[in-house]
């Protein structure tokens, strides 16, 4: 039997996307090398960047930090409302599919780029593989939840990070033969760069790390203020370093909440000396942010991926939301759901700082090999 060559498009557009795509591309490159002397399928890929994140700190620098190749195609969609952004991506990505004629489109995560590329491909009868399928917060007010559900319904290969995600998909009527429990590609990236992360300069002394970016956290003036009041109380016990997303900084200026922060110069991590305050700095490149994360005594966040990374690193994580699409990080990890109630945030933070964490075992298949499993499955199925 002669070797068959198939073409896949890997679509990504945001910082979390790039972290998840990096190990997939590495696994595809490895498979391509190994397939050279073997019969069977050879997988070629086209890397498409939608341009959803266009800020240098949030996009371009990630290619170097994650050893990612430069994208073959950049759609350059930029900002806009959810509807505008998704519409632009569907239109532009559909044209890419018509030109490239792929055998498969791979999408990752739950952002606008994910659902838009999946829908564009499905409309053209191009099979779709969704990496990180089945995660559910069961909160339809979150844009990401709608993105997850729609992407999964449009997909032909659903790669799940955990067993409860598989159960969610089956409950929604996804045929079992389309579902594959493979593990977590974000953890693949963490394991790959862990030595580089630890080699990065760290801040001396104890500190907590904060990230906030979701609309439910920072777009409502009253909610944001209550959270900042709570965080300021926590910061009197331990310095908080706030790696602030560009859109969060925009909201801080809009609401005139600068008084809550001590602004740091992030040009050199070695020079940072956080006060007992909420110390704000710009969003950081992946290795520097992960160095901050790995050295923190406590993490406070509304991010999904950070819940997973703290679970592997054994760091207490307070999720400042009323729900999580990653309940395994609560059941088997280090995550605690506090909501945005100020008293609950402060109480949970003080308890986490006082009590020694009893780290549980890592979730099944969170072992750095999820991308290899995905590529092996695709090579088998596409053959």
- pLDDT, one tens digit per residue, over 18-43 is 999 999 999 999 998 886 555 668 99
Task: Give yes or no: residues 165 and 287 share one domain.
Answer: no
Rounded CA separation 96/79 (Å) = 20
CATH number for 130: 3.40.50.2000
Task: Give yes or no: residues 291 and 230 share one domain.
Answer: yes
Contact 198, 31 (CB under 8 A): no
Comparing 118-122, 323-327, 333-337, 352-356, the range with the smallest average pLDDT is 352-356
Of 49, 130, 213, 245, the active-site residue reads 213
Residue 41 lies in domain:
4-184+366-382
Task: Give yes or no: residues 350 and 370 share one domain.
Answer: no
| Within a domain: 274 | yes
Task: Give yes or no: residues 36 and 89 share one domain.
Answer: yes
pLDDT tier, 270 (very low <50, low <70, confident <90, very high otherwise):
low
Task: Give yes or no: residues 61 and 176 share one domain.
Answer: yes
Task: Give yes or no: residues 123 and 96 share one domain.
Answer: yes
| Within a domain: 194 | no
pLDDT at 185: 98
Q: In what order do the strands lie in the sheet with 157-160?
A: 73-74, 41-49, 4-12, 104-108, 128-133, 157-160, 179-181
At 16, list the tokens: 């979390």
- Chain center to CA of 141: 19
- Burial class of residue 149 in the structure, from the number of CB atoms within 10 Å of its CB (0-12 exposed, 13-18 middle, 19+ buried): middle
What sections of the chain are H helices per DSSP?
A: 15-34, 60-65, 82-100, 112-123, 143-154, 163-171, 185-199, 215-218, 221-235, 246-255, 286-295, 305-313, 328-331, 342-354, 370-382
Task: Give yes or no: residues 43 and 169 share one domain.
Answer: yes
Largest Cα separation within the chain, whole Å, is 69
| For range 347-364, the mean pLDDT | 86
| Within a domain: 91 | yes
Which residue did the predictor score with more confidence, 204 or 304? 304
Task: Give yes or no: residues 14 and 134 share one domain.
Answer: yes
Task: Give yes or no: residues 257 and 179 share one domain.
Answer: no
| Within a domain: 361 | no
Q: Number of folded domains in the chain?
A: 2
| Within a domain: 195 | no
Q: What is the 3-state secondary structure (H, E, C) of 37-79?
A: HCCCEEEEEEEEECCCCCCHHHCHHHHHHCCCCCCCEECCCCC
What is the pTM for the complete model shown?
A: 0.94
Task: Give yes or no: residues 179 and 219 share one domain.
Answer: no
Q: What percent of the chain has pLDDT over 90?
A: 79
Q: What percent of the chain has pLDDT over 70?
A: 92
Task: Give yes or no: residues 275 and 228 share one domain.
Answer: yes
Q: Is 245 a catalytic residue?
A: no
| Within a domain: 28 | yes
| For range 124-139, the mean pLDDT | 98
pLDDT at 1: 45
The residue written with tokens 């609560």 in the block is 330
Residue 371, number of CB atoms within 10 A of its CB: 28
Which residue did the predictor score with more confidence, 265 or 216? 216
**Which residues is 106 bridged to in the sheet?**
10, 129
pLDDT tier, 269 (very low <50, low <70, confident <90, very high otherwise):
low
| Within a domain: 49 | yes
The alpha carbon dihedral of 74, 14, 112, 86 has a sign of negative
Closest CA to 144 of 349, 325, 357, 346: 325
pLDDT at 62: 74
Task: Give yes or no: residues 171 and 271 share one domain.
Answer: no
Residues 6+ apart with CB under 8 A from 18: 12, 59, 62, 63, 66, 68
| Within a domain: 190 | no
């Amino acid at each position: 039997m002669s070797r068959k060559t198939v073409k896949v498009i890997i679509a990504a557009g945001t910082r979390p996307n790039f972290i998840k795509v990096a190990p997939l591309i590495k696994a595809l490159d490895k498979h391509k090398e190994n397939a050279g002397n073997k019969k069977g399928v050879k997988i070629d890929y086209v890397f498409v960047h939608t341009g959803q994140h266009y800020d240098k700190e949030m996009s371009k620098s990630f290619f170097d930090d994650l050893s990612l190749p430069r994208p073959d195609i950049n759609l350059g969609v930029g900002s806009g409302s959810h509807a505008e952004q998704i519409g632009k991506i569907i239109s532009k990505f559909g044209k890419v599919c018509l030109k490239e004629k792929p055998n498969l489109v791979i999408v990752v995560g739950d952002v606008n780029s994910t659902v838009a590329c999946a829908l564009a491909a499905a409309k053209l009868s191009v099979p779709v593989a969704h990496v990180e399928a089945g995660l559910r917060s069961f909160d339809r007010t979150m844009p990401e939840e709608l993105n997850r559900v729609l992407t999964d319904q449009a997909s032909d290969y659903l790669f799940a990070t955990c067993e409860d995600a598989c159960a969610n998909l089956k409950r929604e009527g996804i045929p079992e033969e389309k579902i594959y429990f493979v593990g977590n590609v974000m953890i693949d990236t963490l394991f790959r760069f862990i030595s580089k992360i630890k080699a990065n300069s760290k801040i001396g002394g104890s500190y907590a790390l904060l990230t906030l970016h979701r609309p439910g956290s920072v777009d409502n003036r009253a909610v944001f203020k209550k959270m900042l009041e709570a965080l300021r109380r926590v910061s009197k016990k331990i310095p908080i370093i706030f790696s602030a997303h560009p859109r969060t900084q925009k909201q801080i200026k809009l609401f005139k909440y600068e008084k809550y922060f001590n602004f740091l110069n992030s040009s050199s991590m070695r020079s940072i000396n956080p006060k007992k305050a909420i110390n704000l700095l710009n969003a950081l490149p992946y290795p520097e942010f992960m160095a901050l994360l790995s050295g923190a005594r406590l993490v406070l966040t509304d991010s999904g991926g950070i819940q997973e990374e703290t679970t592997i690193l054994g760091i207490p994580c307070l999720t400042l939301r009323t729900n999580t699409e990653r309940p395994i990080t609560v059941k088997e990890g280090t995550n605690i759901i506090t909501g945005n109630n100020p008293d609950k945030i402060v109480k949970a933070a003080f308890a986490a700082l006082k009590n020694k964490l009893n780290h549980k075992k890592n979730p099944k298949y969170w072992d750095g090999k999820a991308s290899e499993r995905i590529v092996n499955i695709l090579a088998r199925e596409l053959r």
